[in-house]
Amino acid sequence: MMKLKKTKAGFTLLELIIAVSITALLSLVAFQMLDGIVSVWKIADENISVESEAQFALEQIGRDLESVVFKKDNGPMFAVDVLKDDLNSGNWDSTNYNFGKPASNPTHFDPADNRYGWAGCWVRFFCASPTLNAVSYQIIRAKPESGINEPRYSLFRTAVSNRFTMESGYNIKDANSYELPNPQSEVHPGAIKSPDTYQSILAENVIDFGVRLFVYDDAFTPSAAIDVYTPTGMRLVFPSDSNGVLDSTDTSHIAPIFNSVSADYPDAVEVYIRVINPLGAEKLREIEQNGPNNSAWYSVVEEHSKLFTKFIRIPSQAF
């Protein structure tokens, strides 16, 4: 009697389709999970980058301000100016720069909304650590180093050498030294206005920088219009009106006045620094290269940047 061979049955077409579908679904879920993990990691990495840039800058600014010095019977030794355009340093890089900040506010100075000028504030003073030096801070759009083609907004710190500081004197507004453009080197007094854009970068992707200045005044009685930013026992002197109220029309502060240690020489400084993450910086470059889009510029800033502050008390150091 003949025996029939048993044959092994294969998968049916329907079973194959179901198996492939389940595999594809599981792969999609796994990919989405992996993509989500990568996105979270990238955001965390960018946030760490922003935090580290801001903290490093604020620590350096704090060290400088805590060693500020003044000299009686001398010219201005502390000055702040809101930069209304990109012309101050002479080093602003306009590569792929068809459009900058929206033109709706000519100065872009609205301290109540923490906006401190087209290029932030230009802050300069004298400090005594580690030696007596003239120091300045300002934002410049420039290439951070040779070989990099795309300019970036960066916060620059310049410290004039002790020798040049002693030779140039203690008037930070002197047009023949500290406000002289095109310095011979980074340590030359003219670097206060025109820093070396390859050697003086303190922090990258800084798109705004500003200060508020306060003096001790126990007799000061705040008006009903006083804002909430004034610490108890202090009076705001910049940017403010005569009543110590935050004022967007106050765009320059010079202290002390000749022949006296003016009450307008600050006893405390509140520093504001806004840093944008790398993705936001790239989006700003695209906007600036392609042309005006007033709403997009600040939308990118609001989405991709973070504001950092530091309140610094200035010891009284006269010499």
- Give the whole-angstrom CA distance, residue 270 versus residue 211: 6
Alpha-carbon distance values, 103 to 81, 82, 253, 273, 276 (Å) = 20, 16, 25, 22, 20
Q: What is the pLDDT, as a whole number, of residue 292?
A: 59
Partnered with residue 314 across adjacent β-strands are none
Partners of residue 40 on adjacent β-strands = none
* Cα distances (angstroms) measured from residue 134 to each of 123, 130, 172, 178: 11, 12, 8, 8
User: For 136, phi and psi rounded to 5 degrees?
Assistant: -140, 155
Give the Cα separation of 223 and 64 in Å (integer): 33
Contact call for residues 302 and 284 (beta carbons, < 8 A): no
pTM for this structure?
Answer: 0.81
Q: How many CB atoms lie within 10 A of CB 102?
A: 15
| Residue 98, token pair as written in the block | 């068809």
- Reduced DSSP (H G I as helix, E B as strand, rest coil) percent helix, strand, coil of the chain, to 5: 30, 25, 45
CA-nearest of 67, 203, 58, 176 to 125 is: 67
The Cα 193–Cα 90 span in angstroms is: 8
Q: What is the pLDDT along the chain (319 residues), one digit of tens a residue?
A: 555 555 555 667 777 778 788 888 888 877 777 655 555 555 555 566 789 889 999 999 999 999 998 876 667 889 999 998 888 988 888 776 666 666 556 668 888 888 898 889 999 999 988 889 999 999 998 887 656 678 889 999 999 989 888 888 888 888 778 887 666 565 788 888 988 877 789 999 999 999 999 998 888 876 655 555 677 888 899 998 888 888 889 999 988 754 444 457 899 999 999 999 999 998 888 888 776 555 688 888 889 999 999 999 998 666 6
Q: Provide the CA 267 distance to its chain's centre, in angstroms.
A: 23
> Which 8-state DSSP code applies to residue 217?
-
Beta-sheet strand order (sheet of 252-255) = 201-204, 152-159, 133-142, 121-127, 78-82, 252-255
The backbone region for 257, taken as left when phi is positive above 0, alpha when psi lies in -120 to 50, beta otherwise, is: beta
